[in-house]
Amino acid sequence: MITENDLQSRVEITPINGSEIEINMGPHHPSTHGVIRFILFLDGEIVVRAVADVGYLHRSIEKIAENLPYPMFMPYTDRVDYVAAINCNLGYALAVESLAGLEVPERATWLRMIGAELNRINSHLIAVGALAMDVGATTPFVHAIREREYILDLLEILTGTRMNNNYVRFGGVCQDVPEDFFKKTEKFLDHFVLFLGEFNRLLTTNKIFLERLINVGILTGDQALGFSFSGPNLRASGVGHDLRRIDPYCFYSDMEFSVPVGSGVKGTTGDSFDRFIVRIDEMLESVKILRQIMSKIKEGPIQSKIPRKIVLPAGESYHRSEAPRGELGFHIVSDGKSNMPYRIKIRTGSFAAMTSLSELFKGMMVADVVAYFASLDVVAPEVDR
């Protein structure tokens, strides 16, 4: 039985100066997308000031990395962002390979890119579906989850697991794909393009959905750069910064694709609606990339020979890649003696996005706080490492 004391412990309301109230939003609020807590100081329903209180999901994986041989840390990387595990595997592998001078077979690189782009679509489906649900539209989320199930089926064929896909290995990938994998992927892409058009129309013709997002949480390009934004959140503010284009890795330099940027299509450039529509457009670009990959991939080895014990030369390596939530960077420091890193630091898009909350929440209605935060597509594991 829930008592009055239980309710008081869940939501602490404290009068401040006779007019403001302090209220907890989280750490288990459904719209915080994980165990993240906001402390909101309200005047009625208007936020006067706010504090983001993180750390509820802290697992100290960066410290764990310093006590494990390089290959043994790979399974931890797919816990950095459980919605885009292969992107995290890839980022870590590229950082180690660049410092170790390891070669990767051509087919393995294409397979890595397939996994990364399927994960990007998978992640963006969750982002746009959850955004719709957070502002009151439940049905689109169900449709997004249904399409995500098809992607999880493909990822299961590719990696052996549906989530936390631990697929990438130093010098390649863990396994090849069966002959029918590409036909199944092509069939899904044909279906998905039609679905995405319907999904987009379902929401962008909905008056309530538009009014909840248009001109809410506006971030100019300079503001977004000042908050160290990257990925879709930065591009939605009109800055065409995509690492696959400006600092390409794998074979992205051979791919033809556009970089969607916010243009104030319904309101002001950099508002919450722009962050929604950029992710819709990015899924279409990922479809283009996947089709190009499947037209180029050839038979061949999927793994190069690597030393049984990996000891990196003394020095540092920072490698960045374009994950669904922005720049994913692995900074590795090696002492040149141990088969374990001296230091690892992971840079994630979600953590950078959190820096804007205290500033942007000011003056918002509580309902707009929910809409703005949902538009950032933050996942808690990327914040707390």
Q: Band of the pLDDT at 385, cuts 50, 70, 90?
A: confident
What does each C-alpha distance from 369 to 5, 77, 196, 362, 377 come to in angstroms?
Answer: 27, 30, 27, 9, 13
Residue 7 clears pLDDT 50, i.e. is over it:
no
> Which tokens belong to 203?
């929401």
pLDDT tens per residue across span 274-283: 999 999 999 9
Q: What gap in Å lies between CA 266 and CA 215, rounded to an integer?
A: 9
For CA atoms 270, 85, 309, 250, give the dihedral sign. Answer: negative
Q: What is the pLDDT of residue 343?
A: 95
pLDDT tens per residue across span 320-379: 999 999 999 999 999 989 999 999 999 999 988 988 888 899 999 999 999 999 999 998
Q: What is the pLDDT of residue 8?
A: 42
Q: Are 62 and 68 in contact (CB under 8 A)?
A: no
Q: What is the pLDDT of residue 228?
A: 92
- pLDDT above 70 covers what percent of the chain? 95
Q: Band of the pLDDT at 34, cuts 50, 70, 90?
A: confident
Residue 11 clears pLDDT 50, i.e. is over it:
no
Span 109-132, mean pLDDT?
A: 95
Residue 267 clears pLDDT 90, i.e. is over it:
no
Q: What gap in Å lies between CA 273 and CA 38, rounded to an integer?
A: 23
**So where are the chain's domains?**
4-53, 61-353+365-383
The set of residues, in sequence order, having a beta carbon less than 8 Å from that of 254 and lying 6+ positions away, is: 292, 296
pLDDT tens per residue across span 45-85: 999 999 888 888 888 999 999 999 999 999 999 889 889 99
CATH of 61-353+365-383, one of 1.10.645.10, 3.90.550.10, 2.40.430.10, 2.120.10.30: 1.10.645.10
Q: Band of the pLDDT at 174, cuts 50, 70, 90?
A: very high
Q: For all residues of the chain together, what is the average pLDDT?
A: 90
- pLDDT above 90 covers what percent of the chain? 73
Look at 23-37, 55-69, 176-190 and tell me which has the smallest mean pLDDT.
23-37
For CA atoms 95, 230, 279, 49, give the dihedral sign. Answer: positive
**Which one-letter DSSP state was computed for residue 46?**
E
The pTM is what?
0.91
Span 100-116, mean pLDDT?
A: 95
- Nearest Cα to 332, choosing from 85, 61, 103, 66? 66
Q: Band of the pLDDT at 18, cuts 50, 70, 90?
A: low
Q: What is the pLDDT of residue 187?
A: 96
Q: What gap in Å lies between CA 376 and CA 361, rounded to an integer?
A: 13
pLDDT tens per residue across span 191-216: 999 999 999 998 998 999 999 999 99
Q: What is the pLDDT of residue 17?
A: 58
Residue 9 clears pLDDT 60, i.e. is over it:
no
Q: Band of the pLDDT at 249, cuts 50, 70, 90?
A: very high
Q: What is the pLDDT of residue 3?
A: 44
Span 311-315, mean pLDDT?
A: 90
Q: What is the pLDDT of residue 325?
A: 94
Q: What gap in Å lies between CA 378 and CA 327, rounded to an integer?
A: 13
Radius of gyration of the chain, Cα coordinates, nearest whole angstrom: 22
Q: Band of the pLDDT at 10, cuts 50, 70, 90?
A: very low
Q: What gap in Å lies between CA 195 and CA 24, rounded to an integer?
A: 38
Q: What is the pLDDT of residue 15?
A: 52
Q: What is the pLDDT of residue 308?
A: 87
